[in-house]
C-alpha cells in the first residue's frame, strides 16, 4: 500500500522542475537528469501568482507538455502583487530566441479568486482518488470480518 502511495506521489510531481534560466533557455533538473528547455521550444509562459510559473512546451495539436516551476516568496503582498522573478528577468534580458513566447498574466483578465491552477487541481484529484481507493480497501477488509 505504501508503494502505491509513493508511486502516485512521484507521478503527481512529474511536471514540477527545478532550475535556472539563461540566454540559452531553462536548465532544469527533473528526477536525476539535467535537461535544457530552449526558449524556442516554449509556446506560452503563464503564472498563477509570483511563486508558480507554467511553461507550455510547443507540441503537435493538443499534446503540449506543461512543466511547472515554483519559487519561494517571503510575504503574501509580494506573492500577489509582483510578477515572477523569471518574467521580470525575461523582460529585461530579452534573449533573442525568446521573442515568440506568449506571456499570460492571470491578473490582467481574471480576478484573483477565480484563478485556476492546473497542477494543484491534478494533485487534488490524485489525493481524492487515493482516498477513495483506501476507503474501498478498508471497507472490503472490515466487511470480511
Distances (CA, A) of 65 to 55, 111, 123, 130: 8, 26, 17, 24
Every domain of the chain and the residues it spans: 15-115
**DSSP-derived 3-state class of residue 55:** strand
Average pLDDT across the chain, whole number: 76
Let me know: does 16 contact 69? Beta carbons within 8 Å.
Answer: yes
| CATH code that applies to domain 15-115 | 2.30.29
Model confidence over 19-30: pLDDT tens digits?
A: 888 888 888 887
Give yes or no for residue 66 having a pLDDT over 50.
yes
Is-above-0.85 flag for pTM?
no
Length of the chain: 145
Amino acid at each position: 500500500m505504501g508503494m502505491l502511495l509513493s508511486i502516485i506521489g512521484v507521478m503527481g510531481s512529474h511536471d514540477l522542475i527545478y532550475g535556472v534560466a539563461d540566454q540559452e533557455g531553462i536548465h532544469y533538473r527533473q528526477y536525476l537528469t539535467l535537461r535544457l528547455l530552449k526558449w524556442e521550444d516554449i509556446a506560452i509562459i503563464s503564472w498563477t501568482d509570483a511563486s508558480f510559473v507554467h511553461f507550455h512546451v510547443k507540441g503537435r495539436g493538443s499534446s503540449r507538455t506543461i512543466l511547472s516551476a515554483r519559487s519561494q516568496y517571503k510575504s503574501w503582498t509580494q506573492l500577489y502583487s509582483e510578477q515572477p522573478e523569471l518574467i521580470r528577468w525575461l523582460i529585461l534580458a530579452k534573449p533573442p530566441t525568446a521573442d515568440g513566447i506568449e506571456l499570460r498574466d492571470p491578473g490582467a483578465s481574471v480576478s484573483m479568486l477565480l484563478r485556476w491552477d492546473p497542477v494543484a487541481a491534478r494533485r487534488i484529484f490524485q489525493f481524492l482518488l487515493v482516498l477513495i481507493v483506501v476507503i474501498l480497501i478498508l471497507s472490503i477488509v472490515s466487511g470480511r470480518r
